[in-house]
Structure formats: C-alpha cells, structure tokens
Structure 1
Amino acid sequence: MKSTTLTSLLLMLALISACTKETEKTAIPKKGMAIPVTVLELQKNSFSSPISGSGNTTTNNETLLSFKQGGIIDQIFVQEGDPVKKGQLLARLNLTEIQTGLNQAKIGLEKANRDFERVQRLYLDSVATLEQFQNFQTALQIAKEQFKAAEFNLTYSQIKANQNGFVLRKFANPGQQISSGAPVLQINGAKDGKWLFKATVNDQNWSKIELGDLAKVFLEGDNSQGIEGKVARKSMASDPITGAWWVEIELNEKSPSLASGLFGRAEIYPSAQTVGWELPYEALLDAQGDTGFVFVVKNDSLAQKIPVKLGKLSAKNIQVTAGLEGYSHLIVTGSAYLTDGSIIQVNRP
C-alpha cells in the first residue's frame, strides 16, 4: 500500500515539473522586456521566378472549310474526330442546280463560238462590218468567262481537305441549306503541324516573358513530368472582354495522346532575371495580393514592421522584389510577440 502511494506521489511531482517547464518555455514576454528573436542577414541576389498560366492545346493551322456558294448539302463524308488526308473529299452540295448552270454556260459558249465563226467569214467577205465582228468577238469572250465561272462553282461545290489532320468540328448536316462562306467543317494539321499551348497571363507577367523563353506544360489527367516547349508568340493587345493577355507555347513533343482543346497549366521560365531577396516563409507575417509584411531590425535593438512587394511564393521560401532596401537584418522567429517598435534581443542562427 505504501509502495503504491509513493509511486503515485512521484508521478504527480513529475507531471507538475513537466507542466512548469512547458509553461516557462512558452511564457509570453512581459511588457517592456526584450523579446528574443532570431535574425537573418539580408543579401540581395538575382533569380528567375517561374510564371504560371492556364490554357488549352491547339495547333498553328486550324482551318474553317466552307462552300464557295450556297446550296443544299448533299453529303458529308466525315465525322468529328476522323483523320483526313490532304485532297480527301469531305463534303459536297447537291449538284442539280450547279450542273444546270454549267450546262447552260456550255451551250451559251457553243452558240457564241458558232456566231463568231459565221460573222468572221462574213467580215472577211466584206459583208459584215467591223463593229459587228467586234461585238461577236466580245460575246464569245464573255461566254468563255461564264463557262469558266460555272466550272469554278462546280469545283467548289465540294470540300476537300487542305492538309493532313483531324476533323475538329462539324457545323452542318446533309439536307441543310447553307449560305456561301458559312463554315461546314473545322480541321487541323495535327499530323504535320506543331502543337501549341495557348496560356493566359496577367499584364505584369506578360511583360516579363520574351520569345524563346523555355516552358513546361502540364495537362489535366496527364501524370507525366510535363511537356517541354518554348514561347513562340505573344499577344499585342489584351482580350477586350477578360482583359487577359496570352502567350503561345510551341510544344516539342508530337504525342498521339494530344488533342485540340485539352486544358492544362503552363510554367514559363523567363530569361530576364529579377533582382531581390529570397526569404524563409516563416518570416512573412501576412499578405494580400502582391504585398506582405515582415519585421526587420532597427538600430540593433528594435523591431520595425515594414511592407514588402512579393514575388513568387513557395512552400519554403518567398521572393521579395522591393521594400527591403536599406535594411541589413530580417527577423525570422519570435515575430509572434512583436509589435512595431518592440525591444528585441537578437539571437543569430
């Protein structure tokens, strides 16, 4: 019984001692006391911050195909997603009306040719006048041009693929009345052309990106290490609706798994260097947008809270591009108890 009581007392004393030590460890400094802090010497250097942007895959040669003249669609020989070869017949109009126009032009040409030959003989025999000869000569020329136009209309009453690729969209169906120039099919040159990723960025990041900057694209659902590429084009004006700016990244890979319109994220690595400071994440007090707050050492014994302009944020570090000019040391730990003007006791790591 005595042994049990003694054991209980020892456990109680150990618990009280542990609680006392923990209280001492986490005790909040009293007002007016110097607050111990750990500082870091500030060193300015150059770094390149990756720029992120979201967007979709596309190609550099997507084409809308249409009929030269209006009419009723007779047949469409492909569906969305079908591969096509250059010169392949994709669609055609009902040729009844067009063929009738060609036949009329052919008959008119034959008549004009006969009339011209007749008046030419009469002119040589001095029976027809020069004016009559010239009029029939002009009529023959007009008939030839009308026949060429009818042949041209017949040729463009069908749609052929202008490149190797795939059908992206089909805008019409057989039996549908369609006007001249209205899109019927959209194809791309994915088999021969370059795959692009069109990413949107804000105006500040747009100004940092240059043609030729390296990039990596990560597509949704793709667990690979990303597709490498480089910036091939930049927009010269913002989108009038969203206000966003875009850049086109030319992808190095011709993957069979790529398709037009895949959503993803791009990381662009600007060649232009940014001058600033890289700080440990715990030194940042709070942030809103691209502005944050940190504590720096003033007069070797005081804490001063200052705003800074933030660059890239990561899990361990933050990049500061402005605001630390004229300061030599940053407070890294102990800032939880600090206010602007607090007395500090500097502990160097």
Structure 2
Amino acid sequence: MRTAALLLVSVLLGACGETSPPQAPLKLVRTLIVGAGDTAINGVDRSYSGEVRARIETTLGFRVAGKIVERRVDAGAAVKAGQVLARLDPADAGLQATQAEAHLALAAADLARYRDLKARNYISASALDARETTFKAAQAQAALAKNQAAYTQLVADRNGVIQQVLAEPGQVVSAGQTVFRMAQDGEREIAIALPESEVAGFKSGQAAEVSFWAASGAAAKPVAGRLREISPVADPVTRTFAARVSLKDADPQLPLGITATVRFPGGTAGAVGAPGLIVPLTAIFQQGERPAVWIVGAGNTVKLQPVGISAYTDSGAVVAGGLAGGEQIVAAGVNLLAAGEKVRVAPEATRR
C-alpha cells in the first residue's frame, strides 16, 4: 500500500514538471483595400516638365564649299528673311564666273559666225546645230557660275531666331555643312520626354494643359494643348521618348527655351490605356513565373491570388486581372507568409 502511494506521488510530480510549448505569435501584417475608384489608372493625372520650342527648327549652311570670312549674327539674334548671316571668300567663285562668261562670249561669237556662213550655204545645218548646242551649254554654265558666286552669302529665308552657331570665321566648310540652327517665327510647341514605362498609354491628338513657370497673374492660366507627335525611337542615353505638344491660341512670340509643365488630365496617359488597379510593388509575390498577391480572408487567414501585371511604374504594379476591387491584400512582407496562415492585421488598413 505504501509502495503504491509513493508511485502515485512520483507520477503527479512528473506531470507537474511537464509544460506545453508556447504558441507562436501571429504575424503582424500591413494591408490595404484595393478599390476600383481611386486606384484606377484612368483617374491619375500625369505631369511632365518641358521647354518651349519652335514648331519648325532648321539648319542653315552654305550651298558651296569655302572659307568663312565673315559672320554677322550671334546666337540669340532675331533675323529677318533676306538678311545676310555669313559670307565665304568670294575669290574662287568670282574667277569661275569670269571664266564661264568668257566661254559664253566665245560661244556667242562662234554662233553668230556660223549663222552667217549658213545663210550663205557654206556650211551644213548640222554644223550650225552643233554651235547652237555649244552656245546653250555655255549659257547654262555661265548662269550656274553666277549662282555659285551668289551662294557665297548665307541668307536667312525666314524670320526667326538663331539658336546655335556652329562655325566661325576662318573655318573651311563643305557644301551643306551646318553653320547655324534657327528657330522660325510662328507656332510654338512644348518639347517633353516620356518615360519608356508610360509611353504606351499616349496617343497623338491627346488633350493637354500647359502652364509656364515664368508666368504670373493672369498669364499663369494654363493653355490648352494637344499631343502632336511621339518619337518611335527612345533616346539611347536617357531611354525616354521625345514628344511634342502643340499649343492652341498661344502667343507666337512666346520666348523660346522657357520651362513649362504639361499635364494630361484624366490619366489616359497612364502606363496602359485600359482601366486597371495599381498596387505597391511590395505587395507582389512571385509564384514561379506568375505574380500573385496575398488576400486576407475570413478569420484573417491568407490565400494566394494570381494576378496579371500589365506594367510596372514608379507608382506600383498595374494589375490587369485577378482583382475585382475591394479585396484586402497584404502590402508588405509577402515572402514570409504561407497559404492558410492566420495573421494579425495592423489597425486602419490603408486604402489605395
């Protein structure tokens, strides 16, 4: 009897010594509510910085080769049509013109003599035709030499502003080599650069609003514009696409080079043209080769939901499928979760 009592006491003491392992605390996660309202791409306005440029910008150069002996304008100068901008050394062109005139005079004298001989039937008609042809060739050569001599003066063919000077007196230039860059007077545009992650959402003719940094008071009112063109090739250095926004009812004398902000209202300039949802990049979980998000369901348990991503932008990932809006998803720490796991949700889930 005494032995049985001792055994019972030892069992009770052993049971009291055993403790159950502590339960692991639930993981605390930050979530957000995905909504089709304020997360729709088509509700986002996009703004870009640009500068005022002329609608037509041309390069000016001599039509003949030679040595520049005079440059009459500097960068920033306003020029008028017909104004002489620079001159080449005219010596060689003058000699060529004199030579051509001498050949023309000789051909004219020969033609007159052959016409007289033909009138007396001393020569054939074919001999006279040959002199007629020689005279016409000499006449054309003289006119060409005269034009070449005139080409030693570089003349502005439009009113405009000299943007850049690329040659100096004493420099020998070839025919067609750029000497000046000129912005013609008239219509003004805004030059902007579109990121490669967003360019697919733009199209020609899209409405825009343009405001100028230097404007104040009534002049600060935005000017209506329209996207005129987008370069099909990205800049090799910046990886952006050059675009031009034309202005409506803008002052044609708007100063060139001033800074402007171009805003595309309505957000049709998003990364994609179709409506979608934007979620943070930290909410994307890569499941094999397909992206997914963790949805917090009943009882705060998480489940993995595959989604389609149409583009990645600075604002987040553009979800094209898999989410209907209104879901509560995990916004961070997605790599630490497992399917069916119960979590603790941080207070006040953020609405995207």
Calculate the TM-score normalised by the size of structure 1: 0.70
Going from structure 1 to structure 2, the CA distance change for 1:78 and 1:123 (only over 3 Å counts) comes to same
Name the CA distance, whole Å, in 2 between partners of 1:57 and 1:105. 48
Alignment of 1:83 onto 2:83: no
Alignment of 1:212 onto 2:190: no
| Alignment match of 1:232 (pick from 204, 215, 228) | 228
1:5 maps to: none
Give the drift of 1:99.
1.8
2:294–2:302: 8 Å Cα contact kept in structure 1?
yes
What secondary structure, in the 3-state scheme, does the structure 1 residue paired with 2:275 have? Answer: strand
Give the drift of 1:230.
1.6
1:301 maps to: 300
Name the CA distance, whole Å, in 2 between partners of 1:249 and 1:325. 35
1:303–1:344: 8 Å Cα contact kept in structure 2?
no
2:188 maps to: 194
Task: Choose 144-153 or 320-329, whichever is displaced more.
Answer: 320-329
1:57–1:198: 8 Å Cα contact kept in structure 2?
no
Which residues in structure 2 correspond to 1:182-331 (within 5 Å)? 182-189=177-184, 191-202=185-196, 204-217=197-210, 228-239=224-235, 243-252=239-248, 253-254=250-251, 258-260=255-257, 266-268=262-264, 269-270=267-268, 274-277=274-277, 286=282, 296-304=295-303, 321-322=319-320, 325=323, 328-330=326-328
Going from structure 1 to structure 2, the CA distance change for 1:110 and 1:194 (only over 3 Å counts) comes to same
Cα RMSD (Å) = 4.2
Going from structure 1 to structure 2, the CA distance change for 1:300 and 1:215 (only over 3 Å counts) comes to farther
Give the drift of 1:210.
0.9
1:118 maps to: 113
Give the drift of 1:105.
1.5
Name the CA distance, whole Å, in 1 between partners of 2:143 and 2:150. 10
Deviations 1:29-62 (A, max 9, x none): x845797999757446854234455555432311
1:83–1:165: 8 Å Cα contact kept in structure 2?
yes
Corresponding pairs, count: 307
Name the CA distance, whole Å, in 1 between partners of 2:58 and 2:31. 62
Going from structure 1 to structure 2, the CA distance change for 1:182 and 1:286 (only over 3 Å counts) comes to same
Which consecutive residues of structure 2, in runs of 5 or more, have no partner in the other structure? 1-22, 285-289
1:147 maps to: 142
Quick one: percent identity of the two aligned structures? 22
Alignment of 1:176 onto 2:171: yes
What secondary structure, in the 3-state scheme, does the structure 1 residue paired with 2:85 have? Answer: strand
Name the CA distance, whole Å, in 1 between partners of 2:75 and 2:40. 50
2:201–2:273: 8 Å Cα contact kept in structure 1?
no
**What is the letter of the counterpart of residue 302 of structure 1?**
T
